[in-house]
Structure formats: C-alpha cells, structure tokens
Structure 1
Amino acid sequence: MKYQFGSGTVSNILAVLAQIPEFEKAMSVDLIENRLAGKNYLILVAELDNKPVGFKVGYTLSDGQFYSWLGGVVPEHRNMKVASQLRLIQESWAIDNGFKSISVKSMNQFPAMLQMLIASGYQICGYEDNGSITDSKIEFIKFLQTP
C-alpha cells in the first residue's frame, strides 16, 4: 500500500471522522471552520487510492506555539505508520514556519496515541479534569529543534 500525504480540506476531515468509531461526538463543517476561523492553520490528509484514510489538523496557539488539535486514522489503516507520518510532516511544517513548540491534548482512553506522543519526544505538561479518568485530557508539549 502506497499512501499519499498532503494538504487537506474540512471535507477530508469529515470523511475520515465518519469512519472512526472512537469519535462519538459528531463534528460538523461549522464546528471545524469556527475553530479554525482567523487562525493560521494546517490540515494534512493521508490518502490511499484517492480516498482519505487519515488526517491531522492544527493551528497557531500563540506566537511560536502550534496546537495539534485533532487527528485520526481509519481503523483498518492503523499500525501502518500513517499517524506517525502525519505527525512528522506537521512537525516539519511547524519548524519551517518558525514555531518553537507543538502542544497537543489526548485522553487516557487512547493509549496508542499517548504512547506515540511519548515515544516521539512529547512531554506531559498538564492535565484537564473532565469529570472522569477516561474523558480527562493529558496535555503534552514538544520543543522543536531547528537544524
């Protein structure tokens, strides 16, 4: 399988989210567009045979800090390094655009994501209590090194 990686759209995000069972809350075009409105953002998509199978979207949080807001990979394409490749492309783009760090939040209910972040050099920097252990979010940051 040869995946293609590149810039994506809100439609790509919705197409992938519709195939991911972990995303119980429906995302809408309006919700995504409102979140990105007025921000410098990046939408990346992974495709196989011209069909979106993964995405990663983030935006400028503050001067020098990029926030990796949302991402996902269709279950049958997991363990194929799709998420890792999207993360690497996002990190490279952030460095090229002058960002000093990337922050991200994830939940205990997604242990593969937590493991990938830690293995990729992200450090725990906070905790957001959302009323239950599985719904609470762990905050991570990675300081970017410029070559």
Structure 2
Amino acid sequence: MKWHIEQGCVEDLIDIENQIPEFATPKTREILDARLQGKKVLLLIAKVDGLPVAYKLGYAVDARRFYSWLGAVIPQYRGAGIAQALLTEQERWCKAHGFHSIAVKSMNRFRSMLMMLLKNNYHIVDCHPLEDGTDSKIHFLKTL
C-alpha cells in the first residue's frame, strides 16, 4: 500500500474521525476550533489514492513544548506503518520548529498506540484511572 503525508484540513480529519469505531464520540468542528483557537497547529493527513485514511493533530503548548492531541487510522488501513510514519513526520516537524518535547496522552485500551509510543522512546510520566474504573489515562513525554 502506498500513501503520502501532507498538512491537511479539519474536514479530512472529521471524515476520518467518523470512520473510527473505537471513538464513541467523534470530534466535531466546534470541539476542534475551541481547543485549537490561537495555537500553532500541525495537522498531518495520510492519503491513499487521494483519500484521507489517517491523521495526527497537535499544537504548541508554548515555544518549547508540543502536545500531540489526536490521531487515528481507519481500520482497513492499519498495520501498514501509516501511524508510525505520521509520528515520525510530527517529530521531524517539531524539531524543525524548535520544540524540545512532545507530550501525548493515551488510554490503556489503545494497546497498539501504547506500544508504538514506547518503541519510539516516549516515557510514561503519569497514569491515572478513569473515575468509572473502566480504563486508565497514560501520559507520555519525549524529549527531542
């Protein structure tokens, strides 16, 4: 499978988001706009044959710290290395723009994401259970 990565638009992200079965509540334009307003943002989209199939979205916390907020790959495109390619491109962009670290949060139930972060030298810096006890939120940090 051949793909390419480009800086993308919110419409592509929303299209992908709505095809992710693990997301009970896909993000809306209003949620995205509220969180990203006034921030330096990087939205990467992976496309196969011109179709958006994956994304990685993050933003500057300040001049030195970047927060990798959201990401997803449509199920039928998983396992091809797209998520790794998006992570690698995000790190390259962050280094080129002077960021010193990237923070990420994930959930224990997203095991493939956890494994990818650990494999790429992201370190667990915090972990806490959800209030309902169904899962745990895990905080990662990577120094660039």
Give the TM bin, normalised by the shorter chain.
over 0.9
Unaligned runs of 5+ residues in structure 1 are none
The CA RMSD over aligned residues, in Å, is 1.1
Per mean C-alpha deviation after superposition, the further-off stretch among 8-17 and 128-137 is: 128-137
Query: Take 2:76 and 2:108, find their aligned partners in 1: how far apart are those partners?
Result: 22
Match runs of 1:101-116 below 5 Å: 101-116=101-116
The residue number in structure 2 matching 1:52 is 52
The residue number in structure 1 matching 2:23 is 23
Superposed structure 1 runs of 4+ greater than 4 Å apart: none
Q: How many residues align?
A: 144
Asked if 1:75 is matched to 2:106, the reply is no
Q: CA deviation at 1:134?
A: 4.2
Query: Take 2:75 and 2:5, find their aligned partners in 1: how far apart are those partners?
Result: 18
Q: CA deviation at 1:63?
A: 2.9
Match runs of 1:1-147 below 5 Å: 1-144=1-144
Q: CA deviation at 1:33?
A: 1.2
Identity %: 42
TM-score relative to the length of structure 2: 0.96
TM-score relative to the length of structure 1: 0.94
Please say if residues 45 and 56 of structure 2, whose CA atoms lie closer than 8 Å, have aligned partners that are also in contact. yes
Partner-residue secondary structure (3-state), 1:2: coil
Please say if residues 68 and 103 of structure 2, whose CA atoms lie closer than 8 Å, have aligned partners that are also in contact. yes
Query: Take 1:127 and 1:73, find their aligned partners in 2: how far apart are those partners?
Result: 24
Tell me which amino acid in the other structure corresponds to 2:54.
G
Q: CA deviation at 1:26?
A: 2.7
Q: CA deviation at 1:7?
A: 0.3
Unaligned runs of 5+ residues in structure 2 are none
Partner-residue secondary structure (3-state), 2:105: strand
Query: Take 2:126 and 2:97, find their aligned partners in 1: how far apart are those partners?
Result: 25
Output one character per residue of 1:81-137: Cα deviation in whole Å (capped at 9) or x when no partner: 000000000000000000000000000110110010001100000124321454431
Partner-residue secondary structure (3-state), 1:90: helix
